[in-house]
A and B are shown apart, each in its own frame.
Chain A
């Protein structure tokens, strides 16, 4: 097969387009991509999620486990790829790293999508601690959907755990559409099940949320809920010192500014003019 130059690599000035310099930079069998402006070289077959985690970037997931095959069920790991009109969201756990790929993990669109996903998940299983924590992290403060109080979000982790790590395959998806659920055949105790508990161990929904005073809505006490951060003003999170969205500095600074007499507009513009150092 003819070698095609990856889109991001440019032939050297005046040279022919056989792209040898790029070859030198990319180790054999590796691919070079950019994630949030950071260059990273990873092996082929690596997923974007793994590459991002290698860089220390945090991408939330519910259906991913390093030891199991990617499934792409929860969609929380969406990232944006492509430029301009062609920008699109893909699930990073199933998207293989490509040469010259420019991945953005925290754009406005990504954050908004994740927020919506968390809200939907929250309406399925409001009793799950993991989902409540995610809701708090993404600033989901309300739930517009009718809560279902399910105890399964069909992430398939237990199915894969049972099959791939426990070599058993006692449980699987049954039915389809609305009636899809995970169970043993005929809902009977399975001969294949060794009651190892692996399925419970990986389940993201089995952990109950804290049993403190229940909030009037199905979003829990929101002890972790922060105010919306810089995505209100910027297209991307402006966090280059700590984990994304954790600092909340922009919010507190705006508050301070407003409290000391500045108008809302003035304060926000003042903070917006600070350019990221990246």
Chain B
């Protein structure tokens, strides 16, 4: 339908152009395009999604639907530190919901969001496979086991002391 069209109308940044350059503009390339964009930016910026829709000749809601369907895509910029709380079954019964609430309250953001100063992003994950030390919170790749609301708060407020306050 709209296969023969210029990929860009010249309003974007060269970074995006570079990422989209190898693609032919067929709708089936959408996911791999989005993956490349996420590799480049760390997330999927709104403008990039609009450009993908233009490049593929599909309506923007199609692209947006795919981007929101898969957990691997994120639509907001990640913070400098990523805090991931495991909300799998084992951690759930060991009380991770209260930990997540406490983290949300301390940081002032909901799971999946990033603090306005761009320092922390709060994430949840279904299971990390280390149920024995649950509830588990991962901060920048370091696993903290048996977290409770108090230790979770300390983890955020004084990350340097985290190792001392959290049994792992």
Contact = CB atoms under 8 A, between A and B. Distances in A.
User: Binding site of B, secondary structure by majority: helix, strand, loop or mixed?
Assistant: helix
Contacts of B49: 185
A145 interface: no
Interface stretch (A27-35, A115-123, A166-174, A241-249): A166-174
B69 A176 contact: yes
Given A174-B68, A176-B69, A186 B61 contact: no
Contacts of B63: 185
B61 A170 contact: yes
B60 A174 contact: no
Contacts of A172: 59, 61-62, 64-65
B46 interface: yes
B68 A170 contact: no
A171 B65 CA distance: 10
A192 interface: yes
24 contacts: A163-B59, A169-B59, A169-B61, A169-B62, A170-B59, A172-B62, A172-B64, A173-B65, A174-B61, A174-B65, A174-B68, A175-B68, A176-B69, A184-B61, A185-B49, A185-B60, A185-B61, A185-B63, A185-B64, A186-B46, A186-B64, A190-B61, A192-B59, A192-B61
Interface string A169-201: 111111110000000111000101000000000
Interface of A: 163, 168-176, 184-186, 190, 192
Interface string B121-146: 00000000000000000000000000
B33 to A, nearest CB: 16
Closest 4 CB pairs of A and B: A172-B61, A169-B59, A185-B64, A172-B65
Given A185-B49, A186-B46, A192 B65 contact: no
A176 B73 CA distance: 13
A165 B63 CA distance: 20
A190 B60 contact: yes
B112 to A, nearest CB: 10
Most buried by A among B49, B60, B61, B65: B61
Interface residues of B, number: 11
Contacts of B61: 169-172, 174, 184-185, 190, 192
Contacts of A171: 61
B157 to A, nearest CB: 30
A173 B60 CA distance: 12
Nearest to A172: B61
Nearest to A192: B59
B69 A175 contact: yes
Contacts of A192: 59-61
B92 to A, nearest CB: 15
A220 to B, nearest CB: 34
A276 to B, nearest CB: 49
Nearest to B69: A176
Nearest to A170: B61
Interface string B61-87: 111110011000000000000000000
Interface string B39-59: 000000010010000000001
Contacts of A173: 65
B35 to A, nearest CB: 17
A169 B62 CA distance: 8
Contacts of A184: 61
Contacts of B64: 172, 174, 185-186
Contacts of A168: 59
B50 to A, nearest CB: 8
A185 to B, nearest CB: 4
A81 B78 CA distance: 52
A179 to B, nearest CB: 8
Given A186-B64, A190-B61, 8 more contacts: A172-B59, A174-B65, A176-B68, A185-B49, A185-B61, A185-B64, A190-B60, A192-B59
A190 B46 CA distance: 13
A190 B69 CA distance: 20
A192 B68 CA distance: 19
A168 B61 CA distance: 10
